[in-house]
Amino acid sequence: MANDKTILSETLCNLQKLSPHRLSPHLEALLQHSIVYEEKLTKLCWEIYRCTDNLEELEQRLTELSDAGELYCMRRRTILDSMYGTTAANYARTGVTFPQKADISQDIQISHDALTNTLRLVMPELLPFKGKWSVYLPDKIRCALEKFEQEYQHRGGGKLKISPAFVLFIHHYGEEARARSLYRDYDNQEYSCVLNALHSTQIFNDSAATFINTQMAVPDDRSFTEIVITEVKRMLEVVNALDLSLYTDSQCKRQIGSP
């Protein structure tokens, strides 16, 4: 980690010696934020190592670590969007189109079954701690949904609407997580932020009279989060198709991130 910090510092120093460039301020900001994050990450990792016997302090430090990553990501995205805007403005003079923002939809897979009008999103696990920022995954979901909606309308699908909607969060737990009983309480800010991101394209209405929202856990060969958005009339069909064995397993009692 020390070597990475040295490389970042040397790169920043070398960049500052070069002739000024329209993107130099953005690149310098990216490097400076990376250096600060590396320093904070090192400090937090040592603190976490030293407080493993104090569960309350450990959860606090893990939450701080999660926040540090989220804040780092948010700042980098802000800088990158500014850099994209600067580049797009420069290319506009030449008649060449350049995106205003970076595509951050990677790791979010979206599929739509037209027959059942069911939307499925597969993504990394939701964050388990009650952090202050919670922007990494929700921003990716929002970007992926906007991209999906554009492609859906381009194919002649019009405006996708699912109402009244059943929105189900399915937490898939891999073998390692099940063996260690790492079942988490997601009734936190990350969960709410993801729900707001899902609602950003108005595919469904989020009033009490127009949608039902719940979450479940299932065993799988790897850990990830899946979200199913379908019509309320298909709710029981979706739930009955799931493996509910975790709810009868006496070992599934320990939760991480519980209030």
2 belongs to a structural domain: no
214 belongs to a structural domain: yes
> Is residue 44 domain-shared with residue 168, that is, in the same domain?
no
> Is residue 84 domain-shared with residue 122, that is, in the same domain?
no
> Is residue 190 domain-shared with residue 66, that is, in the same domain?
no
> Is residue 73 domain-shared with residue 142, that is, in the same domain?
no
Phi/psi of residue 66, nearest 5 degrees: -65, -45
Residue 32 pLDDT: 92
- Own/partner long-range contacts of 236-243 (Cβ < 8 Å, ≥24 apart): 238/118, 238/166, 238/168, 239/168, 242/170, 242/216, 242/218, 243/218, 243/219
253 belongs to a structural domain: no
258 belongs to a structural domain: no
- Inter-CA distances, 254 with 191, 217, 251, Å: 19, 13, 8
99 belongs to a structural domain: no
Mean pLDDT (whole number) for 174-188: 70
Phi/psi of residue 96, nearest 5 degrees: -90, 130
Q: What is the CATH number of the domain that holds 230?
A: 3.30.1330.70
| Both structure tokens of 249 | 């397993």
Supply the pTM of this predicted model: 0.78
- 114: pLDDT strictly greater than 90: yes
Residue 164 pLDDT: 95
> Is residue 139 domain-shared with residue 244, that is, in the same domain?
yes
| Both structure tokens of 47 | 């603190």
> Is residue 125 domain-shared with residue 215, that is, in the same domain?
yes
> Is residue 72 domain-shared with residue 117, that is, in the same domain?
no
- 141: pLDDT strictly greater than 50: yes
Residue with tokens 């590396």: 38
Phi/psi of residue 33, nearest 5 degrees: -65, -35
For the chain, list the strands marked E by DSSP.
109-113, 118-123, 165-173, 183-184, 211-219, 224-231, 255-256
73: left (phi over 0), alpha (psi -120 to 50) or beta: alpha
Highest mean pLDDT range out of 39-48, 71-80, 181-190, 226-235?
A: 226-235
| Both structure tokens of 174 | 């891999």
> Is residue 118 domain-shared with residue 56, that is, in the same domain?
no
Cα 170 to Cα 191: distance, rounded to the nearest angstrom: 12
201 belongs to a structural domain: yes
Mean pLDDT (whole number) for 104-120: 95
- Own/partner long-range contacts of 53-58 (Cβ < 8 Å, ≥24 apart): none
Which of 60, 92, 124 corresponds to the end of one domain?
Answer: 92
Q: How many distinct structural domains can be found in the chain?
A: 2
Which of 49, 65, 92 corresponds to the end of one domain?
Answer: 92
| Both structure tokens of 189 | 């800010």
Cα 67 to Cα 71: distance, rounded to the nearest angstrom: 6
> Is residue 240 domain-shared with residue 161, that is, in the same domain?
yes
> Is residue 12 domain-shared with residue 117, that is, in the same domain?
no
Residue 121 pLDDT: 97
- 259: pLDDT strictly greater than 50: no
- 250: pLDDT strictly greater than 90: no
134 belongs to a structural domain: yes
> Is residue 71 domain-shared with residue 27, that is, in the same domain?
yes
Q: Average pLDDT of the chain?
A: 86
> Is residue 126 domain-shared with residue 243, that is, in the same domain?
yes
- Which has the higher per-residue pLDDT, 179 or 166? 166
- For 188, the domain range is 109-248
104 belongs to a structural domain: no
Name residue 217's beta-bridge partners: 171
The mean-pLDDT minimum among 38-47, 58-67, 180-189 falls in 180-189
